[in-house]
A and B are shown apart, each in its own frame.
Chain A
């Protein structure tokens, strides 16, 4: 009697919807490669999740963080988070995620993302450079130097090729007319120049003037100098080590190449003052003040798209 009751109860269970669903689920789990199906679906959805235009990413490059439209940028951040989630072995999405996080003011996460990007591909210049910039801004100069040096050792062609062929960068290149390889090369060439400048500045912050002069002079001899900046940095290092004749020469070279370089005028005036040429020094100080007020400060310590 009892047995019959239990048999009925167990048989009754198989009529229940819950058991039916479980049965269907088990069939699916066993007879379909559902992980592959979901992965493929996630890949397909990525394109649709992408914000309509990526031009804002280019727009904010180098901008003051306070002027960034966080709501808009969060959409991009969310998208790259999704990409990272689906494609965790690709460095590009991590790099772009780090870029978004930096401009959203989240430096800690940005560092994590760039570090993951470098771990996945250690041949890309931009990620080391960006890490160097963040560390520099945080006053972690030793780490900044380490990353700038790493960046400097990378082959620019590898980075150009990486950006040019990466699917995750493709919409950015297309939306912003950066699609030509020449345009990418130009940007990366400029970034290399900034990288050396930032490296020199990091040494300056640590009062490592000898390293400064070596690097700045090497950059000059390699033709990196475009607007007298390396002459200025070299002159600055000589000035700090009180090697005034060398400083004088370098700063004059800087002014020759960039007659609006306010800092160069300033240090040049200090050298003149040390040499007792006060009138001339005052004249250069005035020039320094003049150009300082006219100068559009060109920040270089910002995280770059690539």
Chain B
């Protein structure tokens, strides 16, 4: 297989893959499950970023939340995200641009996998089989219902750069390792990778211990020759850990809650997950679930599926001999299987108790997709490699092998029919595969020849294309309700409008109006239901407390007062959940002229309490005489105030201690007011009030990271091209 042919085949297979998922790529079918919120957050992030704002606050979710958690989930510094902007600029709709980004990113990951396989097996043909099997496995379906791919792609490339670096240290490989590490530690959630990497090292030590000396000597020579680069890479790696450390520290304070995720955990850190939640659904459950979809016409998301050729490789490989590579892959996959199957051994429980990071990630079944599937394919290719190399010295041996191959195919066909997978393409795939192997063992086809590859290509892709067609048929047809699409509902119009509108929970009428629009898709309603206090995914702690404890009607009526409330008096309340909420709710309901404020030494506390019964708080919009919104974006708000006397201004956006307030350029205390919101004293007369989420250094840091990631990515490409040029020159 020539280089040119390989590239053409890789591209053709990608286009076939795109064709197989055309309904999703064209945006005709809805994203499912977690993929929806990722779509939303990507959009939110990119739309803000392209307007020059690095978003750190999200005012429309549960009254306002910091989004550091979601920025980490999407891997906000990943240069590949730029693809969405590019596709968008070319003229694709955002949805299509997003799907094209996902698909391209997936393809990039598969190329990395191809390179790993080629490095291991030293054969383009075998690498191409591995690539096709993984690409057309149901890992690709997870683009549209999960976010696994965001971690998988850098992980694949990390291992590619790592093993090639060990084999032959080069600058671009070291930069590649660092770049992938940077992506992995800033993308949700690095702990899968950490576990997979540690188990990789353990397995490697067990099987290849003797080679360590050679590797060390190679690497030490490289370090001696490239001291500056190595130190720089170490520093950059350490620096890329900072966003992760910051979010860990922020989460540890407990100001940001993830009720559904954190449910049942005693820890203050909202990232921590209860062990029962984690072990409820692990790898065995995912495999069992997939068993219900043996009838491929019922194919759905999250079902483990591989092209039928893989089963043939398994059966044929029984006759292969155990090799070091086989054992290494088996041990590596095996350890992860045991970790991710808490019902089989107590290994996971042990790690949960003794290794700190095991408390911070769930979805153990992801190991199946991230590791077991790709490693399993490599393992079977390793078996297959030996089968192909069998020396068939006699005619009898040849006939025996052909008979074995035929029986294996017949058995697989029977199994498929019995299990309900008897779709037309199954017969074609098995037939083509049988023809391929028989011709090969009769010496009519050569492994690296184009006819072999073409026949193999067809036998692998034919069934997945039909299966994914069923997946599309079984998926939601109409466009789902995505959060950041323009919408009629007034509560939703928060972005870049001239008027400043309050962000609040929609009223019952607004929800009804939306329901009428969306009633054809029952799933879309979950978007609204998540605003329900019992279905909140993430929120600022005190806002969530208020949502949970205050009657929804009180809450809505308070919110309906508008973005600001102005008070003459304040009353101090304790910084705990032990507050007289009934009295506070009464005050809210009756619009009493007192704000309930948390803090020490707050000026003008408890003044003139006796007059309260006859005085009312003032609800103010953003374009009144007293308060005028000068500028706002997602992270900040600038107001011009002009009160006849000193007032306590409450901004009805959730409180978080990382918000800061300034009056005429001077920082002033910002209090937690009315249990969950932001409040501050504003003096009489004309002033400019400025509220900003996070200090300036955090904003600068984000831009610095964007710059750093792009720089490293460009360096990687530069050094790689340079290395290829050197190789060509050497030839």
Contact = CB atoms under 8 A, between A and B. Distances in A.
A42 B284 CA distance: 9
A66 interface: no
A210 interface: no
Interface string A1-39: 000000000000001111011000000000010101110
Interface stretch (B315-323, B457-465, B503-511, B542-550): B315-323
A77 to B, nearest CB: 12
B343 interface: yes
B317 A17 contact: yes
Interface in B377-406: 383
B348 to A, nearest CB: 13
Interface stretch (B177-185, B285-293, B354-362, B431-439): B285-293
B440 interface: no
A49 B289 contact: yes
Contact of A17 (B302, B322, B345): B322
A224 B319 CA distance: 76
B522 interface: yes
B326 interface: yes
B281 A44 contact: yes
Given A45-B292, A49-B289, A52-B523, A17 B383 contact: yes
Contacts of B281: 44
Contacts of B292: 45, 49, 82
A53 B522 CA distance: 8
A38 B284 CA distance: 8
A81 B33 CA distance: 25
A44 B281 CA distance: 7
A48 B292 CA distance: 11
Contacts of A36: 343
A36 B344 CA distance: 9
Contacts of A82: 292
Contacts of A40: 343
Contact of B343 (A20, A41, A48): A41
B522 A52 contact: yes
A166 to B, nearest CB: 21
Nearest to A53: B522
Contacts of B284: 37-38, 41
Contacts, number: 54
A261 B341 CA distance: 65
B344 A45 contact: no
Contacts of B383: 17
Nearest to B382: A17
Task: Select the residue from A15, A18, A34, A44 with max chain B CB neighbours within 10 A.
Answer: A44
Contacts of A18: 317-319
A15 B522 contact: no
Interface residues of A, number: 22
B523 A20 contact: no
B311 to A, nearest CB: 13
B122 interface: no
Interface residues of B, number: 24
Contacts of B343: 36-37, 40-41
A29 to B, nearest CB: 12
B487 interface: no
B253 interface: no
A45 B283 CA distance: 11
Interface string B276-313: 00001100110111001000001000100000000000
B322 A15 contact: yes
B372 to A, nearest CB: 14
A75 to B, nearest CB: 9
A30 to B, nearest CB: 13
B318 A21 contact: yes
B518 to A, nearest CB: 14
B320 A17 contact: yes
A16 B288 contact: no
Nearest to A14: B322
Contact of A44 (B285, B317, B318, B321): B285
A37 B288 CA distance: 10
Contacts of A42: 288
Main secondary structure of the interface of A (DSSP, over half): helix
Interface string B256-293: 00000000000000000000000011001101110010
A82 to B, nearest CB: 6
Contact of A16 (B285, B287, B298, B320): B320
A131 to B, nearest CB: 29
A37 B338 CA distance: 13
A146 to B, nearest CB: 37
Interface in A263-297: none
Interface in B326-350: 326, 341, 343-345
Given A52-B522, A82-B292, A41 B285 contact: yes
A16 B280 contact: no
Main secondary structure of the interface of B (DSSP, over half): helix
Contact of A37 (B289, B344, B523): B344
A15 B321 contact: yes
A16 B319 contact: yes
Contacts of A17: 317-322, 326, 383
Nearest to B315: A18
A98 B288 CA distance: 25
B93 to A, nearest CB: 27
A78 B317 CA distance: 36
A209 B287 CA distance: 60
Contacts of B344: 32, 34, 37
A48 B322 contact: no
Contacts of B326: 17
Nearest to B343: A37
A41 B288 contact: yes
A32 to B, nearest CB: 5
A273 to B, nearest CB: 53
Contacts of B320: 16-17
B370 to A, nearest CB: 20
Contacts of A48: 289, 302
A6 B321 CA distance: 18
Task: Select the residue from B284, B287, B345, B523 with max chain A CB neighbours within 10 A.
Answer: B284
A45 B288 contact: yes
Contacts of A21: 318
Nearest to A45: B289
Contacts of B318: 16-18, 21
Interface string B490-526: 0000000000000000000000000000000011000
A179 to B, nearest CB: 15
Nearest to A36: B343
A49 B301 CA distance: 12
Contacts of B522: 52-53
A136 to B, nearest CB: 35
A282 to B, nearest CB: 50
A254 B341 CA distance: 67
Given A17-B383, A53-B522, A44 B280 contact: yes
A17 B523 CA distance: 47
B476 to A, nearest CB: 10
A295 to B, nearest CB: 32
Task: Select the residue from A32, A40, A41 with max chain B CB neighbours within 10 A.
Answer: A41
A186 B26 CA distance: 49
Contact of B288 (A32, A38, A78): A38
Nearest to B302: A48
Contacts of B280: 44
Given A37-B343, A38-B288, A41-B287, 13 more contacts: A15-B322, A16-B322, A17-B319, A17-B320, A17-B321, A18-B317, A21-B318, A44-B288, A48-B289, A52-B522, A52-B523, A78-B298, A82-B292
Closest 7 CB pairs of A and B: A18-B318, A41-B288, A45-B289, A41-B284, A37-B343, A44-B285, A41-B285
28 contacts: A15-B321, A15-B322, A16-B318, A16-B321, A17-B317, A17-B318, A17-B319, A17-B321, A17-B322, A18-B318, A21-B318, A32-B344, A37-B284, A37-B343, A37-B344, A41-B284, A41-B285, A41-B287, A41-B288, A41-B343, A42-B288, A44-B280, A44-B281, A44-B285, A48-B302, A49-B292, A52-B522, A82-B292
